[in-house]
Amino acid sequence: MSAPTLADVAELAGVSRQTVSNAVNNPDLLRADTLARVQQAIDELGYKPNRAARNLRTRASHLIGLRITPVQEGTASVVMDRFVHSLVEKSGEAGYHVLLFTDALEDDPLTGYDELLRSTAVDAFVVTDTYLGEGQAAWLRERRAPFVSFGRPWDDDNARHPWVDIDGAAGTELATRHLIEKGHDRIAWIGWKKDSVLGEERRSGWLRAMHEAGLPTTGLASRVEDAVNSGCSAARVMLAEAGPTAFVCASDTLAIGVMHTLAERGLQAGDDVAVVGFDDSQVAQTVWPGLTSVRQPLEEAAVELVKALEGLLATPSQVGPGVMLTPTLEVRGTSGPDRR
Amino acid sequence: MSAPTLADVAELAGVSRQTVSNAVNNPDLLRADTLARVQQAIDELGYKPNRAARNLRTRASHLIGLRITPVQEGTASVVMDRFVHSLVEKSGEAGYHVLLFTDALEDDPLTGYDELLRSTAVDAFVVTDTYLGEGQAAWLRERRAPFVSFGRPWDDDNARHPWVDIDGAAGTELATRHLIEKGHDRIAWIGWKKDSVLGEERRSGWLRAMHEAGLPTTGLASRVEDAVNSGCSAARVMLAEAGPTAFVCASDTLAIGVMHTLAERGLQAGDDVAVVGFDDSQVAQTVWPGLTSVRQPLEEAAVELVKALEGLLATPSQVGPGVMLTPTLEVRGTSGPDRR
């Protein structure tokens, strides 16, 4: 049996890991009854805080750097708020704070990383947007900067850094099957342009589900910019030329565009034409009559990223295999009634 | 004439303050032509970096602490993303990074502040949610922790800390006048419960505009929870009992609820009944036919907060008067046509 961990104590005492950490390091932060409960669990399990690891950490900044980009107004797809909150919470439980930075120079996202590396302000980075081909991962690896990536290493078979990602194709496959089960057989895809690896991945899930069900896909796929207007125009063309009864979209932004076109024509999203989006944005959650949408498990992603970070910063460093998470489907009004 | 500042150099060279800072501290981050342009502006103005201030800062963490709370799913009103990005950007220009933290203990928001104060991990805090009566400001003042507040000191006439806030009443007044100018005379208010000081402030703007125009308000105000369903029910009751032709709401979340009720009844938001929300959320920006909404100048708020922080952390410390900013109105489809 391995030595009891902080997580074991937390589970036995029925408190968070942060609370156990406080019981050890800042006991006066806790109420007396909570402290007693944690102490009892510590005694029962024979838990010993790892002093070596703690001392090592004491020399460090206890900070994790996360680059953020401007909010894209006029779109539906803000997932950063939810991801950032989860990452901050899970990092806190592991004794780290999250430091945010933006691009110091507008024409080069790497300057923000460079500045933090020079000032040794952070212990490690969480890198997002790895699909953009900006070479962040390769650049950091060259400088031996510790980082974990939220996003698989798309174009780098030699990547050895820890990563966590969400299987977009599984999400759109789930969405498409949901519509097939409702009796739809002409299901259109509205996705992003071909140069988007994320877009092509999401498209492949729609394609797979359609092929498996023996349904036609010719003339039913459209690739556009990720904007409400683009979804709107694509839906207009698609309805006129291919007569779909349902749409699966690469984003809630595009799905909202489809809903605009339906509203313009006096059609009811759901009752007349089904629509499914991707991101489970606040727009999907609040728009009438509720937009069915693929939801990324961002909380779980944060848990896995922090686990990977702890391994990476341990002595000796531990790098596990990449972790691929599966999205879920939030079913709402735009799924419409069963057509069978 | 006072000595030229970094901001003067930035303006003359047509670059950001971060770029000037890089030219002084990390010149190899810049392209040769940019560096030459900044150098020319420095020479022309006779700018001298303030060594004393720089040395003082070098002893500090260069970090500003910001507490974040979980995303409220199922609502429309995420403004944090936009605020956090602006704050990170503006702080970066002033040489600070933003450190995020959540409540270490779920039952006490002050433990997060306490932990950071004990570890002297940050130079100062930006405090939000001052209206919640959690006593954050008083608690920090007692400990002589430097902080600026995004939110006026609602219940503390003795507050001496720097603050920046947005005039919510001015926003709803603007919204109500906009509807009056369109020819509406029965304009309903759907707001938050009486114990919300923010809600009462926003309500007062509606009331002021109605009184100024000599329009009735009796039976036209409703106070509910900030949820889509609450807005929905309040609108049902209001339409049945008071026959308003327009709604002004304390949030986009409530406004979306009103739009649900209109959709249920086959009424067109805008053409049949006008609706105005508050927050200019992504929901307002993307929902059909576009939700007219009050927009808070969060970018400007971030600029003022960072200015206040720089004053607070200067030697000697400078605390200016509170800064009240005025929101704007983003006019979209739910304003409807002119009725006159």
A319 touches chain B (CB under 8 A): no
Both tokens assigned to A108: 């080069």
* A17, A93 contact by CB (below 8 A): yes
Residues B195 and B85 in one domain: no
B185, B290: one domain? yes
| Whether residue B138 sits in one domain with residue B173 | no
Asked if B277 and B301 sit in the same domain, the reply is: no
Mean pLDDT of B64-80: 80
Q: Give the type of residue at B7.
A: A
Q: Report CB contact under 8 Å: B84, A100.
A: yes
**Is A340 a member of any domain?**
no
**Any domain includes B1:** no
Question: Quick one: B244 and B231 in the same domain?
Answer: yes
Q: Rounded to 5 degrees, what are φ and ψ at A17?
A: -65, -35
Q: What is the per-residue pLDDT for B328?
A: 98
Is the per-residue pLDDT at B105 higher than 50? Answer: yes
Chain B, 65 to 84: residues with Cβ < 8 Å from chain A are 68-71, 73-76, 78, 80-82, 84
Collapsing DSSP to helix, strand or coil, B191 comes out as strand
> How would residue B53 be classed by pLDDT, with cut points 50, 70 and 90?
very low
Nearest to B76 among A62, A228, A286 (CB): A286
Chain A stretch 165-204, residues whose beta carbon is closer than 8 A to a beta carbon of chain B? none
Q: Is the pLDDT of residue B49 over 70?
A: no
Mean pLDDT of chain B: 88
Whether the per-residue pLDDT at B59 is higher than 60: the answer is no
Residue B120 confidence (pLDDT) above 70: no
A267: containing domain: 168-296+329-335
- Residue B111 — pLDDT band, cuts 50, 70, 90? confident
Q: Are residues B292 and B174 in the same domain?
A: yes
* Burial (CB count within 10 angstroms: exposed 0-12, middle 13-18, buried 19+), residue A190: buried
Interface test mutation site (partner B, options A286, A298, A328, A334, max chain B beta carbons within 10 A): A286
The reply to whether A253 touches chain B by the CB within 8 Å rule is yes
For chain B, the residue count is 340
Residue B54: per-residue pLDDT = 43
Q: How far apart are CA B66 and CA B87, in angstroms?
A: 10
Give the one of A80, A89, A111 whose C-beta lies nearest to B29's C-beta.
Answer: A111
A55, part of any domain: no
pLDDT at A65: 92
Within 10 angstroms of residue A136's Cβ, the number of other Cβ atoms is 21
The Cα–Cα gap between A116 and A130 comes to: 19
Domain count, chain A: 3
By CA distance, what is A260's nearest residue in B?
B288
CA atoms within 13 A on the CB side of B42: 16
Kind plus residue range of the DSSP H or E element containing B8: helix B6-13
Contact (Cβ atoms closer than 8 angstroms) between residue A129 and residue A151: yes
Kindly state whether residue A12 falls inside one of the protein's structural domains: yes
- Tell me whether residues A85 and B68 touch, CB distance under 8 A: yes
A262 and A200 in one domain?
A: yes
Please indicate, yes or no, whether residues B289 and B172 belong to a single structural domain of this protein: yes
B30 touches chain A (CB under 8 A): yes
Mean pLDDT value of segment B271-298: 96
Alpha helices in B64-167 (DSSP H): 80-93, 110-118, 136-142
CA A83, distance to chain mean position in Å, is 6
Q: Does A307 touch chain B (CB under 8 A)?
A: no
- Confidence band (pLDDT; 50, 70, 90) for B255? very high
A29 Cβ under 8 Å from any chain B Cβ: yes
- Helix residue ranges, H only, chain A: 6-13, 17-25, 32-45, 51-58, 80-93, 110-118, 136-142, 168-181, 197-212, 228-242, 252-264, 282-286, 298-313
Write down the pLDDT at residue B203: 98
pLDDT of chain A, 340 residues: tens digit per residue: 466 778 888 999 999 887 887 787 667 677 888 888 998 998 888 877 654 344 334 446 788 999 888 878 778 876 577 899 899 999 988 888 899 988 765 666 677 787 777 766 788 999 987 766 667 888 888 888 899 999 988 766 667 889 999 999 999 999 999 999 999 999 999 999 998 889 999 999 999 999 999 999 999 999 999 999 999 999 999 999 999 999 999 999 999 999 999 999 999 999 999 999 999 999 999 999 999 999 999 999 999 999 999 999 888 888 989 999 999 999 999 999 999 8
Beta-carbon neighbour count of residue B212 at 10 Å? 12
In chain B, residues with a C-beta closer than 8 Å to the C-beta of A82 are: 71, 73
Q: Quick one: how far is CA A250 from the chain centroid? A: 14
- Where is pLDDT greater, at A65 or B159? A65
- Looking at residue B308, its pLDDT comes to 95
Distance CA(A259)–CA(A235), nearest Å, equals 9
**Residue in this structure with the two tokens 């206890």, named with its chain if needed:** A62
Q: Exposure pattern of B295-317 as b/e (b: 16+ CB <10 Å)? A: bbebebbbbbbbbbbbebbeeee
- Map residue B125 onto helix, strand or coil: strand
State whether B16 and B32 are in the same domain.
yes
Identify whether residues B183 and B203 lie together within a single domain.
yes
Q: Which residue among B16, B85, B282 sits closest to A282, beta carbon to beta carbon? A: B282
| ipTM confidence score | 0.80
Pick the residue from chain B with its C-alpha nearest to A257. B286
Output the six-digit token pair for B192: 């938050």
- β-sheet bridge partners, residue B203: none
Four-residue CA torsion sign, B193, B197, B201, B204: positive
| Higher pLDDT, residue B149 or A16 | B149
Strands B274-278, B246-249: pairing kind: parallel
Least trusted range by pLDDT, from A193-197, B67-71, B126-130, B132-136: B132-136
Q: Which residues of A touch B256 (CB under 8 A)?
A: 286-288
Residue A247 identity: F
CATH of the domain at A43: 1.10.260
Q: Which 8-state DSSP code applies to residue B146?
A: -
Contact call for residues B136 and B169 (beta carbons, < 8 A):
no
Do A188 and A220 form a contact (C-beta atoms < 8 A)? yes
In a domain, B219, yes or no: yes
Query: Is residue B246 within a helix (H) or strand (E), and if so which, with residue range?
Result: strand B246-249
Closest Cα of chain A to B178: distance in Å? 22
- For the stretch B167-179, pLDDT in tens is 999 999 999 999 9
- The residue among B191 and B128 whose pLDDT is bigger is B191
Which residue did the predictor score with more confidence, B291 or B103? B291
Q: What is the CATH number of the domain that holds A86?
A: 3.40.50.2300
Identify whether A57 is part of a domain. Answer: no
Cα A240 to chain center, whole Å? 35
> What does each C-alpha distance from B9 to A219, B40, B46, B282, B302 come to in angstroms?
57, 9, 9, 36, 21
C-alpha torsion B327→B332→B336→B339, nearest 10: 50
Residue of B nearest to A58 (CA): B119
Digit-coded pLDDT (tens) for B13-28: 999 887 887 787 667 6
Q: Is residue B235 part of a domain?
A: yes
User: Does an H or E element contain A221, and which?
Assistant: strand A221-224
More confident residue, A219 or B95: A219
Specify whether A321 is located in the same domain as A174: no
CA distance A79 to A56: 34
Residue A188: phi and psi, rounded to 5, are -90, 150
> Is the distance from CB of A270 to CB of A299 less than 8 angstroms?
no
Asked if the structure places residue A151 within a domain, the reply is yes
Contact (Cβ atoms closer than 8 angstroms) between residue A209 and residue A278: no
Phi, psi dihedral angles at A36 (to 5 degrees): -65, -40
Q: Same structural domain for residues A192 and A154?
A: no
Lowest-pLDDT choice from A14-23, B44-53, B257-266, B329-338? B44-53
